[in-house]
Amino acid sequence: MLQSYFDTDNNGHKHKSFELPGAKPHYNPDRPGQVEHIFLDLNLDILNQSYDGTCTIQLKPVRNGIDRLTLDAVSLNIHSVQVDATSTTYDYDGQQLQVHLANPTQTGQSIKIAIAYSVAKPQRGIYFITPDKHYPNKPVQVWTQGEDEDSRFWFPCFDYPGQLATSEIRVRVPKPYIAISNGRLIHTEENGDYKIFHWLQEQVHPSYLMTLAVGDFAEIQDEWNGKPVTYYVEKGREEDARRSMGKTPCMVEFFSQKYGYPYAFPKYAQVCVDDFIFGGMENTSTTLLTDRCLLDERAAIDNRLTESLVAHELAHQWFGDLVVIKHWSHAWIKEGMASYSEVMWTEQEYGAEDAAYYRLLEARNYLAEDSSRYRRPIVTHVYREAIELYDRHLYEKGSCVYHMIRAELGEELFWRAIQTFVQDNAHNTVETVDLLRTIEKITGRNLLFLFDQYVYRGGHPEFKVAYTWDGDSKLAKVTVTQTQNELFDLKIPIAFGYTRESGVGSRESGKNAEGEISNATTHCKAFTVRVNEKEQSFYFPLEEKPQFISFDANNNYLKTVSLEYSIPELKAQLQFDPDPISRIYAAEALGKKGGLEALNALAEALKSDRFWGVKVEVAKQLAQIKLDQAFEALVVGLNDENPLVRRAVVEALGNIKTYASYKALKPIVEDGERSYYVEAAAARAIGIIAAAKLEEKPREEKVLKLLRSILENKAGWNEVVRSGAIAGLSQMKTSAEALDLILEYTRLGVPQALRLAAVRALGAISTGQSAANLERILERLTELAQESFFLTQVSVVTALGQMETPKAIAILQTLATQSLDGRVQRIAEEAVSKVQSAAGSEQAVKQLRDEIDQLKKQNQTLMSRLESLEAKAAN
């Protein structure tokens, strides 16, 4: 996700506006009638990237006297229009098709509009993938992508989600290709060198979920309760398909139970296609996925992203396909739940701690967008294109809102409400208010206060929490400050933790209201307080001083929190708090405090915490403590059994930038590692260290040789390792040789994943290059910006957005005005602002940065010696 700069003042952030010039309110159009059925009868000419056929729409009018219908139809060649088998006149401006009705509508009398049309070399909606001289091994495929409003680019339709209809696709394709679509296959027919596939979707759905995928696929059969569950992949990748999607039947069972509604469609197919522009798309009963989600044996060691993607798109079959949003502004209902379903599946498959950490990572994705890109309400109908809404607010913040609803209602009432929402609205459309009404109907709870704060306005609470203990009166004082501008009004549980040795009694595990909760090692006494002012102090009578304090016990609320506790409380929380997120917050607070005592506590957690996610976060914090002892603490983690921990340790060693860390990482780069991702992280890290200003450092030519060796010898799955080498080269910002290598890998013919990594790397390396080399980079990016492929354009914008020269702005402005994709237009405009800011003071900032780095290094050496002397004196 691209990020833009933000301004600050003394009272908090001044967030950039989500609404760019040209944004306006969007509403569903007036409805002339109910679309009952859509039938596409198509002939594909794959060689010439074209097709022709007929789109027949059956419409039941809602009122009398309508004499014209307006359909969405972009860049189609319209040949003729018939209404009830009689030719009629029409107007077409390349955007909308106006059909004139000789006989005005009568309510209750359905009409059939048959539109004969053709399309040649389409730009959107339907995509023809074919080999070329640069990529001769690319498979031949055709696939569609309708969301948000791209179905209009491949067939005429009423292209908004509020219209639900059954659909049918009959398509003629050359042998040996097969065609997969929505619903069930009702007929196939041989036709010389061609084959006709006829699919029928008997449950209503919106036009954006109609799909077609054509290719010479291997077909892997599975099933759930007698319904086919099928995986389609390029031939030769059958094992990868089972490894990547094999849990699908278990997921179908899990979501059928959770949502209280058995999977509603006749089959579930997942089709992995080449050059897909999303991770996945939940077309009704037929999800399309990027083929990059297919895992080989080694990738499966530490890649759960595919599993989450499969869960996300499957969850949409209920939230999005069975229960359909009425308007794009309410898309959080489906995208938030699909994202939250990733959390739910993680909990089911890997346990509560993994699920809690997954939620934290989702919250952080939203927080990053909120702090550095823009802030917006989740529900808004003001935008330029609906696709702009598909951001971290919609997905990750939406997921966090569902979790807060769950925390507010409790397990039983939450699932009863969700199940009723699905049952009441199956095969129908919904808005946000429908969810609120269902919750109130089932639970009696009015959660508008939560929606008003988190859904209908932007932002989240930013808490600062301080604690003191008065031994005489046995009172714990907790002071909570909201540092953001708009105050939140929430009931927050605060728990006080005791270790078992302290002798405090406990009740059974799991309570989080007033009373006590416990687990195997700790006992917590919890209170709930109302936090609704800028600053509040709360006093709690306790039998004895607690070892630690958990603010927002169980961490259910979306927030940021800064803990201002003393080191003993933070150390106890890191060691004993049963909640992994609380342990992570304690680790962050210790990292900010610094010093040897904090470092030692983090070092112990890296070795002994029971949960890998805490270890990952601890490794990051160790790298923040500017003491030489951080290296010894971190290097132990290179032997951790969990590859995700090893990866975090590798990244942390790269960030502490010492010759010792280089020597620790070099063997990983030279000899490889079980995990692709750990190996890639090591390659990037040695580039960071090589570029650092160190008294003792690796010779640049040695690092270049190492990274070049990876590029020449480590081609493999999704080019993860070689992309790591490119990332390492991009950090060597003053090296002309590094730039030459990166440029070499931006040429056509380089595997796409690696090529895109090299394109993005041009931005990172540009900030230290000579004027002549900067011109070379800009020239190459200008050439690359001419390519029409969506992912190439995004990578070009990413590169340009990192540059510190005003010359990048002209290329960005060209993309902002000429790209056919609204997402590219938007991120290009945001990147212009970012470059303008960076270019304003690049030299002064660079000089200041270098001076600060030198002072930090000198200070680290002195502090490390002082801490060691103090430790020795104490012993």
Cα(122)–Cα(151) distance, integer angstroms: 12
522: tokens are 């700790």
- Name the pLDDT band for 502 (thresholds 50, 70, 90): very low
- Name the pLDDT band for 858 (thresholds 50, 70, 90): low
Percent of the chain whose pLDDT exceeds 70: 92
Across 564-584, average pLDDT: 97
Cα(3)–Cα(788) distance, integer angstroms: 23
Across 780-807, average pLDDT: 96
pLDDT tens sequence across 83-95: 999 999 999 999 9
Residue 38 has pLDDT above 90, yes or no: yes
For residue 734, give the nearest of 779, 759, 700, 707 by alpha carbon.
700
Across 282-297, average pLDDT: 98
pLDDT at 512 (0 to 100): 42
The dihedral through the CA atoms of 320, 323, 324, 328 has a sign that is negative
pLDDT at 27 (0 to 100): 96
Cα(356)–Cα(339) distance, integer angstroms: 13
pLDDT at 850 (0 to 100): 58
- Name the pLDDT band for 508 (thresholds 50, 70, 90): very low
- Name the pLDDT band for 686 (thresholds 50, 70, 90): very high
Residue 519 has pLDDT above 50, yes or no: no
508: tokens are 């059974």
- Name the pLDDT band for 522 (thresholds 50, 70, 90): confident
pLDDT at 855 (0 to 100): 57
514 CB burial (10 A radius; 0-12, 13-18, 19+):
exposed
pLDDT tens sequence across 418-428: 999 999 999 99
The residue type found at 807 is K
Whole-prediction pTM: 0.93
Q: For the CA atoms of 118, 122, 128, 134, what is the dihedral angle to 10 degrees?
A: 140
Residue 185: Cβ within 10 Å count = 16
For residue 114, give the nearest of 33, 72, 57, 66 by alpha carbon.
57
The single residue listed with the structure tokens 């083929």 is 291
319 CB burial (10 A radius; 0-12, 13-18, 19+):
buried
pLDDT at 697 (0 to 100): 87
pLDDT tens sequence across 604-614: 999 999 999 99
- The helix or strand, by DSSP H or E, that contains position 185, with its residue range, turns out to be strand 184-191
pLDDT at 500 (0 to 100): 73
641 CB burial (10 A radius; 0-12, 13-18, 19+):
exposed
Residue 520 has pLDDT above 50, yes or no: no
pLDDT at 506 (0 to 100): 36
Alpha helices in 195-331 (DSSP H): 238-245, 248-259, 305-315
pLDDT tens sequence across 149-192: 999 999 999 999 999 999 999 999 999 999 999 999 999 999 99
For residue 219, give the nearest of 227, 211, 230 by alpha carbon.
230
Cα–Cα distances in Å, from 192 out to 10, 127, 174, 198, 709? 74, 25, 9, 17, 51
What is the residue-averaged pLDDT of the chain? 93
Cα(559)–Cα(352) distance, integer angstroms: 20
- The helix or strand, by DSSP H or E, that contains position 769, with its residue range, turns out to be none
Cα(275)–Cα(790) distance, integer angstroms: 9
pLDDT tens sequence across 109-136: 999 999 999 999 999 999 999 999 999 9
Residue 222 has pLDDT above 80, yes or no: yes
pLDDT tens sequence across 598-647: 999 999 999 999 999 999 999 999 999 999 999 999 999 999 999 999 99
pLDDT at 16 (0 to 100): 87
- Name the pLDDT band for 842 (thresholds 50, 70, 90): low
pLDDT at 854 (0 to 100): 61
